[in-house]
Amino acid sequence: MTLGRWVGLISLLISLYVLWQVRSIVLLFFMAVIFATGLNRVVRQFQKSQLKRGVAIALTVAIALMILGLVLILVATRIMEQVDQLIDLIPGAIAQVANLNYWIQEQIPGRIINNLPSLSDLSLQLQRVANWAIIHFYQIFSNSLSLLLNSLFLTVLTLMLLANPKQYRNLLIQGFPAFYRRRADSILSKCEIGLVNYLGGIALSMAFIGIASTIGLLVLQVPLPLVNGLIAGISAFVPYLGAIASVVPPALLALLDSPWKAIEVLLLYFLIQQIEGNLITPIIMKHQVSLLPATTLALLTAFGTFFGILGLFLGLPILVVAQIWLKEVLVKDILDQWTVPRKIASSESAQHER
C-alpha cells in the first residue's frame, strides 16, 4: 500500500471520527435543511405572484408562526385542563393498584405471593425515583436549556438556509468533480422533490392520526383524549415505532377503568393504523420514494440506537435521501453502466459453445 493511500485512509478515518463527535450538529443541520426545503416550496409559490423573495420569505415565516401560535393557544388550554385531570386521577389510580394488589394476594398461594413485589416495595421504588429527580434536578434543567438552545440554533439555521438556498446548494455541488456537477444538481433536485413529498405526506398522516385518535378516545370516554391524540399525531412522525409507543398511555388510562376498555383502545389504534397505512398514506404519498417496511423498521431502530431520539425523528427523511442517491449514483451511474470486458465476454461465449 502506497503512502498516498495510507494518507487517504487516515484522513477518511479522522473525518469519520470528527463527524461522529459532531453528529448532533450534523443532524440538526439536516433537520434545518428539511424545514428550509419545505418552506422554500411555499416561498416559490408566493414568488409566482410577483412578490420579491424577501417579502415572500417574511410572509411564509409569519404564516408558519401564526399557525404554530394558533395551535399552541387552542391546544395548550385544553392540555393544561387535562393535566389537572391527570393529577386528580393519580390518587384513584394508586387506590386501584392497591385493590389489585390485595386481589392478587387473595388469589395466589402464599408461597408465590411472598416472592412477588408488594405495594410497599412499589412505594419504595417511587420514593427512590422522586429522590433521583431531586438530586438530578440540575441535569434536568441543563437538558431543558440545551433543548431550548438547540431549538434556537435550528430556527436560525433554517432561516439562513431559506434566505439564500442557491448559494449553499452551489457550495455543495462544488464538492463534486467538474464532469459530475450537472448530474449532482439533478440528483439534488430529485432529493428536494422527495423531501417535499415526504413532508406533505407525513403532515397529513399526522393530522389524520391525531384527529382520529382524539375522536375515538372521546367516544370510548378515555381520560385525556386531547393529550393522547396529540401524542399519537406527533408519534406518527416516526413510522411503526411511533404507533407502538403512542398506544401505551391511553391503554394504561383505560385499564384504570376496566380491562375491556383497554382492549377497545388497542383495537381503536389498530384500526386507525390500518386505515392510515392502507388508504391514507398510499393516496397522499403515491409520488414518494417507496421504502420496504422491514428495512425501514430495522434502519430506524439502528438510527435510534446510535443517534437517540433525534435519529428516530430524522431516520425516515435520511432514508428517503439516501435511497435516491443510491439509486441514481450506485445503480444508474455505476452498475447500469458496467460493461463486461471483451476478453471475459469472448471466453464466456466460447465456454457456452463448448
- State mean pLDDT over 79-97: 61
Please determine, for residue 58, whether its predicted confidence score (pLDDT) is greater than 80: yes
Task: State pTM to two decimals.
Answer: 0.67
pLDDT in tens, 65-86: 888 777 667 666 666 665 666 5
pLDDT of residue 186: 92
Exposed / middle / buried, residue 295 (Cβ in 10 Å: 0-12, 13-18, 19+): exposed
Please determine, for residue 161, whether its predicted confidence score (pLDDT) is greater than 70: yes
Task: Give me the percent of the chain exceeding a pLDDT of 70.
Answer: 66
Please determine, for residue 168, whether its predicted confidence score (pLDDT) is greater than 60: yes
pLDDT in tens, 269-301: 889 888 876 766 655 555 555 666 666 667 777
What average pLDDT does the chain have? 75
pLDDT of residue 304: 74
pLDDT of residue 215: 92
pLDDT of residue 351: 57
pLDDT of residue 84: 63
- State mean pLDDT over 335-350: 63
- State mean pLDDT over 315-328: 86
Tell me the HSE value of 314 on the side-chain side, using a 13 A CA sphere. Answer: 24
Rounded (10°) angle between helices 165-173 and 137-163: 90
Please determine, for residue 124, whether its predicted confidence score (pLDDT) is greater than 70: no
pLDDT in tens, 9-49: 787 788 777 777 777 888 888 888 888 888 888 888 888 88
Of 60-69, 193-202, 232-241, the poorest mean pLDDT is in 232-241
CA distance linking residue 351 with residue 154, whole number of Å? 62
3-class secondary structure, 115: coil
CA distance linking residue 83 with residue 89, whole number of Å? 10
Write b or e for each residue in 268-291: b if 16 or more Cβ atoms lie within 10 A of its Cβ, otherwise e.
bbeebbeebeeebbeebbeebbeb
Please determine, for residue 98, whether its predicted confidence score (pLDDT) is greater than 70: no
CA distance linking residue 196 with residue 192, whole number of Å? 6
Q: What are the angstrom distances between the C-alpha of 314 and each of 41, 143, 239, 262, 271? A: 20, 20, 11, 31, 26
CA distance linking residue 67 with residue 39, whole number of Å? 13
CA distance linking residue 352 with residue 134, whole number of Å? 78
Please determine, for residue 125, whether its predicted confidence score (pLDDT) is greater than 60: no
Exposed / middle / buried, residue 23 (Cβ in 10 Å: 0-12, 13-18, 19+): middle
pLDDT in tens, 229-267: 888 887 777 766 677 778 877 887 787 777 788 888 889
Of 63-67, 131-135, 168-172, 225-229, the poorest mean pLDDT is in 131-135
Please determine, for residue 50, whether its predicted confidence score (pLDDT) is greater than 70: yes
- State mean pLDDT over 321-345: 78
